[in-house]
Amino acid sequence: MVANLAVSALNLLALQAGTWDLRSMWGSMSIIAKAVVFILFILSAWSLGVMIDRALMYSAARKQSRVFVQQVAGALREGKLDEAISIAERNKKSHIAKVVATGLSEFQSASAQVSEAEVVEAAKRGLDRSIAIVHADMKRGLSGVVWQEKQRSDPAVDATRVRMQA
């Protein structure tokens, strides 16, 4: 069966010798086939653009996050929340900085009249919102991946929620 198929394919190629180029293929296509090829070309270019955009974004986020973690560690050890927030705001491409800035801002903006538990709860809610926003921003353009993610939970978000509840 496979041998017959191979022989048939070779006979077909021998009959069409010299016509295996893009120009002759385009000329032999119907208008519907040409439309499909055009749509596939546009979608391929779009996909390539999304891949390049995501690669650049992830690379910049990784670089700024590494720098941010080193810079903010010293400020937090010394208890300087204002300095830590300003460091986070300077690193706009870092996903970690975005989340930390939101949490620290929520924590700092709580009034003195509110109990410590309420301050921590407000900071947790702010962190959850920030994590959701950053997560959505990082997945922008990846709609093929999004439908798969809806079927399973995100381990990073789940781990963060577990740490906050403890």
Domain ranges of the chain: 25-165
Question: What average pLDDT does this structure show over 129-147?
Answer: 69
The band of 14, judged by pLDDT with boundaries at 50, 70 and 90, is low
Task: Report the predicted TM-score, pTM, of the whole model to 2 decimal places.
Answer: 0.56
Spatial CA neighbour of 63 closest among 94, 90, 101, 85: 94
Mean pLDDT of the chain: 76
Question: What average pLDDT does this structure show over 136-147?
Answer: 64
For the stretch 36-89, pLDDT in tens is 999 999 999 998 998 898 889 889 889 988 888 888 888 888 888 888 888 888
How far is Cα 45 from Cα 22, in angstroms, rounded to an integer? 19
Is 65 within 8 Å of 100 (Cβ atoms)?
A: no
